[in-house]
């Protein structure tokens, strides 16, 4: 590679064959370049008479926004796209781990550049800490084909591979229908909603699209009195109930029993996970000995109430 100086506008950024997509903003990059300049020069090469970027797309974009007259670059003479792409691949890998969304893009590009599948499986999947299996490679390629909106959510919320794999089972139309709800949810609820829908669809042998188009779901989606966040919560709750009606009924009854006991804020009753066990746990918050004594006395009073048995068997109450 040859080191030189170049005008940022000389570099054609429309050709993004070597770019590893990133949904992160320029963030602190612009003030960093403004203060210290470009410490790690981008790599460029020539294709069809045009100078295109191999690595450092964000640095080039930032330099344009700062109207820098010249920037340092390395000019790569490699004519093989497959070999040239390995420069940004290893450059980024040397400083951080790739997200599953980025790995999906890399796997797809390696595949399109002609890297043999067995090489991708044996050489590159282990680099990304993924199992060296052909089916894993195929899933990553499917992940790459998810909509940009879904991939952006997945990138920002750091969805695990398992969640993305489930999403590849949904159609493009189903992904589009899910997007407004997923966008308004926390990471945990995003994962649970996807798992709920997948499980319901599989058990009932019904498509996710038909499920989302049913009267119950449509009613929530068309309710103008609900905000996007409220709709997402309602959709989530509905899928939770449909996936496991008995557990949902048990949880609701348990919460009702807790409310009837009128527990103080400092005392929390915690059921077993998924209500599968018959043991309850107590969480007690206190800041002083007097508060502790007061809470213990409150617990003694509660233990004498017949309603306490409802916590052990919430469904026994009509």
In a domain, 35, yes or no: yes
Share of residues in the chain with pLDDT > 90 (%): 67
Mean pLDDT rounded to a whole number for the chain: 90
In this prediction, residues 107-122 reach a mean pLDDT of 97
Report pLDDT for 146. Answer: 96
Nearest in space to 64 (alpha carbons), one of 105, 10, 1, 131: 10
Token pair belonging to 185: 């949810």
The more confidently predicted of residues 127 and 270 is 127
pLDDT-derived band at 245 (thresholds 50, 70, 90) equals low
The CATH number for 72's domain is 3.90.1530.10
What are the contacts of 230-236 at 24+ separation with CB within 8 A? 231/180, 231/181, 231/184, 232/180, 232/181, 232/182, 232/183, 232/184, 232/185, 232/189, 235/181, 235/193, 236/181, 236/185, 236/189, 236/192, 236/193, 236/196
Question: Per-residue pLDDT tens for 82-92?
Answer: 999 999 999 99
Q: Distance between CA 69 and CA 56 in Å, rounded?
A: 17
Residue 264: predicted pLDDT: 83
Collapsing DSSP states into helix, strand and coil, what is residue 21? coil
pLDDT recorded at residue 51:
97
d(CA 68, CA 86): 28
- Identify any residues that bridge with 25 across adjacent strands, giving them in sequence order: none
Q: In what order do the strands lie in the sheet with 71-76?
A: 2-6, 71-76, 43-47, 50-55
Local confidence band at 9 (pLDDT 50, 70, 90 cut-offs) = very high
**Higher-pLDDT residue of 67, 305:** 67
Does residue 291 sit within a domain?
yes
Least confident interval from 69-73, 162-166, 234-238: 234-238
What pLDDT does 175 receive? 92
> 204 in a domain, yes or no?
no
Q: Does residue 56 fall inside a structural domain?
A: yes
What's the mean pLDDT in 58-71? 94
> Would 150 be classed as within a structural domain?
no
13-29 mean pLDDT: 88
Give the tokens for residue 50.
């045009």
Q: Say how many domains are in the chain.
A: 2
Residue 19: both structure tokens together: 């770019």
Residue 274, domain extent: 262-316
Q: Which of the four pLDDT bands, split at 50, 70 and 90, describes residue 234? A: very high
pLDDT category, 247, cuts 50, 70, 90? low
Residue 305: CB atoms within 10 A of its CB come to 12
Please tell me the predicted confidence (pLDDT) of residue 275: 62
Q: What gap in Å lies between CA 251 and CA 248, rounded to an integer?
A: 5
| Domain edge (last residue) among 80, 106, 136 | 80
pLDDT of residue 256: 79
Cβ distance 308 to 302 under 8 Å?
A: yes
How would residue 249 be classed by pLDDT, with cut points 50, 70 and 90? low
Residue carrying structure tokens 């004519």: 79
Is 61 part of a structural domain of the chain? yes
pLDDT of residue 215: 93
User: Are 213 and 206 spatial neighbours (Cβ–Cβ below 8 Å)?
Assistant: no
pLDDT digits (tens, 9 = 90+) for 190-227: 999 999 999 999 989 999 999 989 999 999 999 999 99
Q: What is the pLDDT of residues 253-311, one digit of tens each?
A: 777 777 777 778 888 888 776 566 677 888 888 889 998 988 888 888 888 777 677 77
- Whether residue 301 is contained in a domain is answered as yes
- Pick the last residue of a domain from 63, 80, 97: 80
Domain contains 277:
yes
* Domain stops at, among 80, 110, 141: 80
Q: 197 is written with which tokens?
A: 């829908």
């Amino acid at each position: 590679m040859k080191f030189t100086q170049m005008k940022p506008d000389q570099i054609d950024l429309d050709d993004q064959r070597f770019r590893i997509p990133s949904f992160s903003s320029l963030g602190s990059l612009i003030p960093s370049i403004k203060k210290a300049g470009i410490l790690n020069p981008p790599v460029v090469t020539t294709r069809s008479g045009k100078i295109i970027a191999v690595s450092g797309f964000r640095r080039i974009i930032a330099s344009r926004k700062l109207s820098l007259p010249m920037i340092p670059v390395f000019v790569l003479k490699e004519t093989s796209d497959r070999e040239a792409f390995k420069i940004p691949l290893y450059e980024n890998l040397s400083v951080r781990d790739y997200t599953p969304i980025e790995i999906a893009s890399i796997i797809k590009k390696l595949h399109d550049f002609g890297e043999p599948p067995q090489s991708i499986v044996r050489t590159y999947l282990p680099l990304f800490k993924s199992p060296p299996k052909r089916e894993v490679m195929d899933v990553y390629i499917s992940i790459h084909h998810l909509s940009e909106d879904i991939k952006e959510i997945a990138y920002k919320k750091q969805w695990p591979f398992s969640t993305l794999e489930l999403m590849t089972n949904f159609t493009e139309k189903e992904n589009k229908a899910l997007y407004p709800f997923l966008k308004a949810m926390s990471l945990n609820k995003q994962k649970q909603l996807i798992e709920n829908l997948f499980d319901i669809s599989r058990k009932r042998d019904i498509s996710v699209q038909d499920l989302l188009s049913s009267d119950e779901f449509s009613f929530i989606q068309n309710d103008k009195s609900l905000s996007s966040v409220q709709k997402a919560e309602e959709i989530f709750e509905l899928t939770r109930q449909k996936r496991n009606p008995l557990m949902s009924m048990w949880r609701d009854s348990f919460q009702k029993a807790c409310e009837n006991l009128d527990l103080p804020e400092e005392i929390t009753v915690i059921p077993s996970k998924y209500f599968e066990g018959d043991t309850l746990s107590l969480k007690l918050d206190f800041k002083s000995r007097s508060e502790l004594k007061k809470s213990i006395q409150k617990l003694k009073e509660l233990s004498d109430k017949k309603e306490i048995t409802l916590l052990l068997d919430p469904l026994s109450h009509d």
